[in-house]
């Protein structure tokens, strides 16, 4: 069976969707940062902003 390959030299945008709880876990664990992605609509941006603020507050306490 041939191994799957992808082009590491190409730079393009990939659109993904995460469940809210999984995204929150990735942010809380420091595995995904706000600079790594863009929200595609205002409700998503508000939700992610709340997640980021909560994660930052937990780190400061």
Which of the four pLDDT bands, split at 50, 70 and 90, describes residue 5? low
Summarize the confidence of residues 50-61 as an average pLDDT. 90
Distances (CA, A) of 38 to 2, 3, 7, 17, 59: 34, 31, 22, 12, 23
Give this prediction's pTM: 0.70
Alpha carbon distance 15, 27 (integer Å): 18
Contact 56, 30 (CB under 8 A): no
pLDDT single digits (tens) 9-53: 667 888 889 999 999 999 989 899 989 999 999 999 999 999 999
């Amino acid at each position: 069976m041939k191994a799957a390959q992808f082009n590491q030299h190409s730079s393009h945008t990939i659109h993904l969707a995460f469940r809210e709880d999984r995204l929150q876990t990735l942010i809380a664990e420091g595995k995904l940062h706000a600079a790594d992605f863009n929200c595609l609509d205002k409700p998503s941006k508000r939700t992610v902003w709340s997640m980021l603020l909560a994660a930052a507050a937990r780190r400061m306490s």
